[in-house]
Amino acid sequence: MFFAYVLSFLIALKSEVLAWIFASALRIRTRVMLKNLDIVYSESLSRTQKKRLARKSMASFLRTIFEFICSPLIYPFARVEFKNLEPVQKILAQGGGVYGLAIHQGNWELLIHKGGASVASLHLALKPVGGARVAGWVRARREKNCVHEIMRNVEKPAWQQINEAISAGAIVGFVMDQRRSKGVNVPLFGRPSLTNASLFRQWRGQKAPIFPLTIRRTGLLSHEGVFWDEFEVWDEPGCSEERFLAENAKRMNVMIEKMILWNPDEYFWMHDRWKMPKEI
């Protein structure tokens, strides 16, 4: 335990120093972060406050990556106190599965690890990270951390793997806050954004409750994980798939706005979320 505290402290310190170097001195991704913060906060924060928030965001991201690399030494000693877990546990106890709607905030890797280790079998539907070597290493590390990636393969498509996991009473996590080039164009913080609607396309084929979930740091090795109230899917009889996806993507973005503002210091502001095709 003592070693985990020391290692966590050193990682936090290193992340703060690197964040200052990258964001303030080298200005890596600073333009994108400040553009995003201008959209969300407009004039309610000063330029200095936005720059400070950008550094905090980068430090949180770096810390999450370093902690994931060192997860065998840190995760067993890290604590996540889950709030509003009872509705999810009730569904799981009855043999049902649930969808988790997550965003890149706080130590999201620890969130899915603790969810898979202490709540229910957890499967993660997302694109591979980096090239084949990096993606393979991340997948193996996540498997050791009690998280099963949904892999696209010829023998069993992703949607079928998800259906089987839900039917088996598992949690299937979707990380839904990044731009999708062929996504649904709906507002996020009042600005048009290409939004990933894959969760709702999957939901139409295999219905199950959707619970947004977030995490924030409360100490070196302590965190607060929150299951928000069940997301209400709009599903009017006879509506087209296009309208179904657009309406639910719009509602989801309203939810994501609340999740981001709940813990903006640890949100991943480095992603160019509002980039449109003409800018690519």
Q: Which two tokens stand for residue 14?
A: 């290193």
**From CA 256, how far away is CA 250, in angstroms rounded?**
10
Instruction: Give the torsion through C-alpha atoms of 141, 155, 208, 124, to 10 deg.
Output: 10
Read off the pTM: 0.94
- What is the percentage of the chain residues whose pLDDT exceeds 90? 88
Domain boundaries, the chain: 79-274
Percent of the chain with pLDDT over 70: 98
Is residue 276 very low, low, confident or very high in pLDDT (cuts 50, 70, 90)?
A: confident
pLDDT of 279: 52
Q: What does the alpha-carbon distance between residue 118 and residue 94 come to, in Å, rounded to a whole number?
A: 17
Measured distance CA(254)–CA(252) in Å, rounded: 5
CA 272/CA 104 separation, integer angstroms: 13
Report the SS3 class of residue 38: helix
**280 pLDDT higher than 50:** no
In this predicted model, what pLDDT tens digit does every residue of 33-55 receive, in sequence order? 999 999 999 999 999 999 999 99
Region of 277 please: left (phi>0), alpha (psi -120 to 50) or beta: alpha
219-234 residue pLDDT tens? 999 999 999 999 999 9
Residue 114 pLDDT: 95
pLDDT score of 27 more than 90: yes
pLDDT tens-digit map of 110-130: 999 999 999 999 999 888 887
Residues 6+ apart with CB under 8 A from 138: 128, 129, 130
List C-alpha distances in Å: 166 to 25, 141, 162, 274: 47, 23, 6, 32
Cα–Cα distance measured from residue 269 to residue 256, given in angstroms and rounded to the nearest whole number: 13
